Amino acid sequence: MKRRAVIEDCIGETRAAVYEGRKLVELHLDRWSDFNTPRIGERWTGQVTSIDPSVGGLWLELGKGPSGLLTFKAQKDLPRLTEGALIDVIITKEAMSEKGPTLRYVGDPSRDKPGAVTVLSLQQRLESRFPDIGFEDSTVGVMDMATERQLAVPGGGTVTLERTQALIAVDVDKGGAKTVMDCSTNAASLIMSQLRLRGLGGLVAVDFPNMRQSKHRSTLIRLLEEAGEADPASVRVAPFSRFGVVEMTRGQDGPSIDAKMNDRFGRPTIETQSIQALRRLTREARAAPGARLTLSVTPDIRHWLDDCPFDWRTPLTERIGARFTLDEGNAVDVRGDR
């Protein structure tokens, strides 16, 4: 199947949309504020900080972010290590929430202190994930839609997704669908595609409408399993519970789009709002090439931009010219004067 990725380098972030044929299947997001944070597939030098029998492994400081875990299980040629030792590791799972990255031993240290050995761009990581993928530069404008909580099911009904600390809770409501089975089968396909699109994983609990016939339940489980087979992540589906809930697991190697863009209540973070404001300014500048522009933002956004962890003014000036100013207001707005 032909795959392509649309890449957009924005001020503050890089976006990617992956298509299989004409179908959008995955979204990816790198934030400039996370530069030099351990990413999947990268090689880092880590220093052993403790040997932890309770987890059957080692904790390593990487020089950026929380300590990573290297378990003894399935590690080839792992030497006998003591606290303070340096080794090279590959990031197999990125840090998520309060958990640090998961690591795999690959050899002797390349550095004399913890830190990155090889840093991969988003495009390089996608090339590793899909060796046959092609790339093009264009706008990726669907990112915000990938955090919506409620989705319409084709043919009637709704699906509501909630990201919690422990699991992804999914509720299916029949709504105006003709039958429970029609709603559930259409919802099953939607749920599986959305989990992959948004990068959601871990434990997923789906509450389908009341479905009493065992053959219908078996059909639905089979549909979920078949959809999971097309997912690059590992998907395992359990039978219906006695209360009509389907539990499944989906492998997750990094934070979801929602976790990167929103707080735990589903609201855009100040960083997300600030980057969206710069994105709007860039868009207005392209639409009015000769105008001087004023970006008006709320005090919280102004404070974040003033204390930004990266330089956004220089690359923005290189893109649109030195024809913008920043001030405070009650909402985000762009004004232009010719």
DSSP 277-306: HHHHHHHHHHHSTT-EEEEEE-HHHHHHHH
Count of the separate structural domains present in the chain: 4
Residue 39 pLDDT: 96
Within 10 angstroms of residue 223's Cβ, the number of other Cβ atoms is 18
Residue 116 pLDDT: 97
Q: Please state whether beta strands 235-240 and 202-207 pair in parallel, antiparallel, or not at all (unpaired).
A: unpaired
Flag whether 259 is in a domain: no
Flag whether 171 is in a domain: yes
For range 63-91, the mean pLDDT: 93
Residue 165 pLDDT: 86
Q: Based on the domain organization, do 149 and 229 belong to the same domain?
A: yes
Whether the CB-CB separation of 94 and 253 falls below 8 Å is answered with: yes
Residue that terminates a domain, selected from 192, 218, 250: 250
Flag whether 261 is in a domain: no
Q: Based on the domain organization, do 152 and 243 belong to the same domain?
A: yes
Q: Based on the domain organization, do 30 and 89 belong to the same domain?
A: no
Flag whether 255 is in a domain: no
Q: Which residue has the higher pLDDT, 328 or 98?
A: 328
| Per-residue pLDDT band at 265 (split at 50, 70, 90) | confident
CATH number at residue 93: 2.40.50.140
Map residue 208 onto helix, strand or coil: coil
For range 207-232, the mean pLDDT: 93
| Per-residue pLDDT band at 327 (split at 50, 70, 90) | very high
114-163 residue pLDDT tens:
999 999 999 999 999 999 999 999 999 899 888 999 999 999 999 999 99
Torsion of CA 71, 73, 75, 80, to 10 degrees: 70
Q: Based on the domain organization, do 155 and 199 belong to the same domain?
A: yes
Q: Based on the domain organization, do 50 and 174 belong to the same domain?
A: no
Flag whether 93 is in a domain: yes
| Per-residue pLDDT band at 256 (split at 50, 70, 90) | very high
Among residues of the chain, what percentage have pLDDT more than 90? 87
Flag whether 110 is in a domain: yes
What pTM value is reported for the model?
A: 0.93
| Per-residue pLDDT band at 292 (split at 50, 70, 90) | very high
Residue that terminates a domain, selected from 109, 137, 165: 137
Residue 338 pLDDT: 63
Q: Across-strand partners of 292?
A: 337
6-21 residue pLDDT tens:
999 999 999 999 999 9
| Per-residue pLDDT band at 98 (split at 50, 70, 90) | confident
Mean pLDDT for the chain? 94
Within 10 angstroms of residue 99's Cβ, the number of other Cβ atoms is 12
Helix, strand counts (H, E) of the chain: 7, 19
SS3 content of the chain, % helix, strand, coil (to 5): 25, 35, 40
Q: Based on the domain organization, do 92 and 187 belong to the same domain?
A: no
Residue 311 pLDDT: 97
Q: Based on the domain organization, do 89 and 16 belong to the same domain?
A: no
Q: Based on the domain organization, do 244 and 157 belong to the same domain?
A: yes
Strand order in the sheet with 245-250: 150-152, 158-163, 168-173, 202-207, 245-250, 235-240
Interatomic CA distance for residues 85 and 60, integer angstroms: 9
Q: Based on the domain organization, do 16 and 132 belong to the same domain?
A: yes
* Angle, helix 214-229 to helix 180-198, in steps of 10 degrees: 20
Q: Across-strand partners of 10?
A: 13
Q: How many CA atoms lie within 13 A of 32 on its CB side?
A: 15
For range 174-197, the mean pLDDT: 95
Query: Residue 47 sits in which domain range?
Result: 43-118
Tokens standing for residue 239: 């039978």
Flag whether 333 is in a domain: yes
Flag whether 265 is in a domain: no
Q: Please state whether beta strands 13-20 and 23-31 pair in parallel, antiparallel, or not at all (unpaired).
A: antiparallel
Interatomic CA distance for residues 198 and 27, integer angstroms: 6
Instruction: Identify which of 256, 270, 325, 282 has the alpha carbon closest to the alpha carbon of residue 33.
Output: 270
Q: Based on the domain organization, do 27 and 52 belong to the same domain?
A: no
| Angular region, 109: left φ>0, alpha ψ -120 to 50, beta rest | beta
Residue 291 pLDDT: 93
Q: Based on the domain organization, do 126 and 240 belong to the same domain?
A: no
Rg (alpha carbons) of the chain, rounded to whole number: 23
222-245 residue pLDDT tens:
999 999 999 999 999 999 998 889
| pLDDT surpassing 80 at residue 74 | no
CATH number at residue 221: 3.40.630
Q: Based on the domain organization, do 107 and 50 belong to the same domain?
A: yes
